[in-house]
A = this chain, B = another copy of it.
């Protein structure tokens, strides 16, 4: 059967694009405005309700997707067949290759309302067609990373395994695992994320494995025989107390961990800890999972839990499944432009940003300024944008995924203490437009 989901003939990202980008291009090519020098800026007007910071994620994926943004014969044939654009435009697209410059916040950096997260400079024609692709990636990945950072912070050093792939689109799952890892998760269940990004993958068994066997003991024996006593046994298929007793009997006190996936996991973990200790399994860890979010994780801080499995909440952004970023034209031929109607007004001109800090390192404010008129820079100010692409080529030595993990860890430490509260509130620092 045909498989339209994965066209083998093309790895092009060029049709991950909204129709109107190409009709705009077509009109602009016809009237001669297509070659005007433009600056497009990605920013979020606001954070999701109650959130105190956002985490930039997806930048590296954006650069890769732009490299694959080519109109091959397959894409051109589709556009011709559906009469989206003129023949002149098809000819132009056949040679398309982004040749402009991109600067942006590196992955793992915090952002606030109005932060110029990504700045694309090039002709109108070459820049306008990237809108949807750039936003899709940044909006998805940043939404997941922003939620994941709150969970990592709530877990207070205890490892979290990302296991939400089944709750989101099959390829979104892979990107979500990456964003969660960027934000401090320890591992993922997603094998494709392991392949693409080198993220460590983990997993043992589901309840299906328990039910497949005639008894719980038989299932435990099969698992320990294959994976060793250091595995994680799932003890809540039948009766948790009996399950733990059987688990330690089968694996011995060197059992690696037990997992509890249902019920009120706080009291259950306490009871399990006592029982494990009484059975001599003092080093056996307790892993809990099942509808955990940042609030549930925080509520478990005093409980004897060693690791968390988090699924639905992280891949869906824990109530904020998109970051709501927009891609706005802010400058044409060196002149600022902005929508001027009373609603959704925006600020024109190419911008840069720096974050001011106290001498102690605590962040004070996000200063967004015209790139041509930088403010005086103090000793505790930090410029936030880095070069990402020059003349259509990624700059050398771009930050890695691990760089992003470390950057976020440092950035979170710099927030005022209210900024890490999970409760709803204002952005942790104000944004000032100079």
Within 8 A of B (CB), among A120-173: 124, 128, 131-133, 135-137, 139-140, 163, 165-173
Per the CB 8 Å criterion, the residue count for chain A at the interface is 120
**Roughly how many angstroms separate A393 CA and B243 CA in the complex, as a whole number?**
40
Answer whether residue A211 sits at the interface, using C-beta atoms and an 8 A cutoff: yes
Selecting from A340-348, A411-419, A422-430, the interface stretch reads A340-348
Question: Is A86 an interface residue, CB under 8 A from the partner?
Answer: yes
CA distance A191 to B7 in the complex (A): 14
Q: Identify the stretch in A29-37, A107-115, A354-362, A366-374 within 8 Å (CB) of chain B at 4 or more residues.
A: A29-37
CB < 8 Å: which of B169, B226, B328 contacts A27?
B226
Task: Report yes or no: A329 in contact with B16, Cβ–Cβ below 8 A.
Answer: no
B321 & A223 in contact (Cβ 8 Å cutoff):
no
By a CB distance below 8 angstroms, the chain B residues around A67 are 1, 3
**Quick check: is A299 within 8 A (CB to CB) of the other chain?**
no
Q: Which residues of B contact A195 (CB under 8 A)?
A: 4, 7, 15, 75, 78
Q: Bound complex: CA of A185 vs CA of B79, how far in Å?
A: 21
Whether A136 and B3, one on each chain, are in contact in the complex, defined by CB atoms closer than 8 angstroms, is no
Residues of B within 8 A of A390 (CB): none
In the bound complex, residues from chain B placing their C-beta under 8 Å from that of A206 are 20-21, 24, 128, 131
Contact assessment for B169 and A169 in the assembled complex, using a CB-CB cutoff below 8 Å: yes
Instruction: Return the contact of A16 from the options B19, B78, B82, B171 (Cβ within 8 A).
Output: B171
| List of B residues within 8 angstroms of A263 by Cβ | 341-343
Q: How far is the CA of A13 from the CA of B78 in the complex (A)?
A: 25
* A284 at interface by CB-CB < 8 Å: no
Residues of chain B within 8 A of A208, CB atoms compared: 24, 40, 124, 128, 131, 328-329
Closest residue on chain B to residue A25 by CB atoms: B209
Give complex CA distance A374, B168 in Å: 34
Judge whether A298 is part of the interface by a CB distance below 8 angstroms.
no
Residue in B1, B6, B124, B165 whose CB lies within 8 Å of A18: B165
| Known pairs A139-B168, A171-B16, A339-B211; A63 contacts B394 (CB<8 A) | no
Cβ of B169 and Cβ of A136 under 8 Å apart? yes
State whether A18 and B236 are in contact (beta carbons under 8 Å apart), knowing that A27-B205, A167-B322, A324-B312 are contacts in the complex.
no
Residues of chain B with a CB closer than 8 A to A394's CB: 1
Contacts of A302 in B (CB 8 A): none
Chain B residues with CB under 8 Å of A137's CB are: 169-170
- A239/B24 contact (C-beta < 8 A), A4-B196, A171-B16 known: no
User: Are the CB atoms of A63 and B1 closer together than 8 Å?
Assistant: yes
Given contacts A171-B172, A213-B33, A329-B208, contact A165 B16 (CB under 8 A): yes
Alpha-carbon distance A251/B165, docked complex (angstroms)? 49
List 16 additional contacts besides A22-B203, A24-B204, A207-B329; criterion CB under 8 Å.
Answer: A3-B67, A4-B197, A16-B171, A19-B190, A20-B203, A23-B205, A26-B227, A30-B222, A31-B226, A33-B222, A128-B209, A131-B166, A136-B168, A136-B169, A237-B339, A237-B340
A-B contact pairs, 23 of them (CB 8 A): A1-B67, A4-B195, A5-B65, A7-B195, A17-B191, A18-B189, A22-B203, A24-B208, A27-B227, A30-B225, A33-B212, A33-B213, A36-B212, A132-B166, A132-B189, A140-B168, A140-B172, A166-B327, A168-B322, A169-B172, A236-B343, A237-B339, A239-B341
